[in-house]
C-alpha cells in the first residue's frame, strides 16, 4: 500500500476534541485490515533488529497497535494510562497538551534496566504526551528507548525537543492545514 492509500483510510474530524483542532482518527485505518496490516508491517520492519523487549503503548489508541507490535516483535506490552486506571503502584507524570494539562501513569514494576523499550502512539502533535512517557520510561534506566508514531503532524509546534538519545520514527507525515 502507498502512503496515499493509507492517508485515505484516515478520517479527519474538524474541531475535535476542541474547536480549532483537526483530529486525525486512525480508527478508520484500524478497521481497514489491509491498511492496519501495512502500518504494523512498516513499524515492525523498522524495529525488528533493535532488540525491543517491551513496547509501551500510550492510552488509548497506542494500546491497539502497541500490543500487536509487541506480539510481532516477541516483546512484552506495557500500558501507559491515565490516572487511576492501573491496579498496582504506579509512577506518575503530568504534562501540557495543546488544549490543556494531563497526567499519565505506568506501573512501578513495568520496565527493567535490561529492557529496550519502544514507546508507541498513534499521533505526534505537540509531543507533550510522548515527552511525559519518555520521562516515565527513563525512570527505569532501560538500555535504550525508541519512539514511534503512525502519524507525525508536522506543522504543529512541539512542546520541546525529544532527547537526542531517543530515536523517533513515524509511518506518515501529515499537515494539520
Is the residue at 126 inside a domain?
Answer: yes
- Has 158 been annotated as catalytic? no
Our count of domains for the chain comes to 1
- Has 98 been annotated as catalytic? yes
Is the residue at 20 inside a domain?
Answer: no
Quick: pLDDT tens for 37-80.
Answer: 999 999 999 999 999 999 999 999 999 999 999 999 999 999 99
Q: Which of 38, 59, 61, 105 is catalytic?
A: 61
Q: Which of 11, 38, 72, 98 is catalytic?
A: 98
Is the residue at 76 inside a domain?
Answer: yes
Quick: pLDDT tens for 140-176.
Answer: 999 999 999 999 999 988 888 999 999 999 999 998 7
Is the residue at 28 inside a domain?
Answer: no
Is the residue at 17 inside a domain?
Answer: no
Is the residue at 117 inside a domain?
Answer: yes
- Check if the beta carbon of residue 119 is closer than 8 Å to that of residue 133: yes
- State which residues form the domain around 96: 50-174
Q: Is the dihedral of CA 19, 32, 172, 128 positive or negative?
A: positive
Choice between 159 and 123, residue whose per-residue pLDDT is larger? 123
Q: Which of 16-25, 74-83, 105-114, 147-156 has the lowest mean pLDDT?
A: 16-25
Q: Please tell me the number of Cα atoms within 13 Å of 147 on its side-chain side.
A: 23
State what percent of residues in the chain have pLDDT above 90. Answer: 86
What pLDDT sits at residue 159? 86
Which DSSP string do the residues of 90-117 spell out, in sequence order?
EEEEEEEETTEEEEEEEETTS--TT-EE
The long-range contacts involving 59-65, CB below 8 angstroms and separated by at least 24 positions, are 59/85, 59/104, 61/26, 61/27, 61/121, 61/122, 61/123, 62/120, 62/121, 62/122, 64/30, 64/122, 65/30, 65/36, 65/39, 65/40, 65/120, 65/122, 65/150
Task: Give the CATH number of the domain where residue 78 resides.
Answer: 3.40.50.2020
Q: Over 80: is that where the pLDDT of 96 sits?
A: no
Is the residue at 145 inside a domain?
Answer: yes
Is the residue at 31 inside a domain?
Answer: no
Amino acid at each position: 500500500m502507498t502512503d496515499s492509500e493509507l492517508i485515505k483510510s484516515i478520517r479527519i474530524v474538524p474541531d475535535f476534541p476542541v474547536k480549532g483542532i483537526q483530529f486525525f482518527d486512525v480508527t478508520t485505518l484500524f478497521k481497514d485490515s489491509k491498511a492496519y496490516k501495512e502500518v504494523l508491517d512498516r513499524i515492525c520492519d523498522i524495529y525488528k533488529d533493535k532488540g525491543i523487549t517491551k513496547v509501551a503503548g500510550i492510552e488509548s489508541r497506542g494500546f491497539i497497535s502497541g500490543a500487536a507490535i509487541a506480539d510481532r516483535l516477541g516483546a512484552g506490552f506495557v500500558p501507559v494510562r491515565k490516572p487511576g486506571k492501573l491496579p498496582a503502584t504506579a509512577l506518575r507524570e503530568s504534562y501540557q497538551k495543546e488544549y490543556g494539562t494531563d497526567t499519565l501513569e505506568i506501573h512501578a514494576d513495568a520496565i527493567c534496566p535490561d529492557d529496550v523499550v519502544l514507546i508507541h502512539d498513534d499521533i505526534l502533535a505537540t509531543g507533550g504526551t510522548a515527552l511525559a512517557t519518555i520521562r516515565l520510561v527513563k525512570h527505569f534506566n532501560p538500555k535504550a528507548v525508541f519512539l514511534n508514531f503512525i502519524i507525525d503532524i508536522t506543522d504543529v509546534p512541539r512542546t520541546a525537543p525529544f532527547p537526542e538519545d531517543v530515536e523517533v520514527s513515524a509511518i506518515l507525515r501529515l499537515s494539520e492545514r
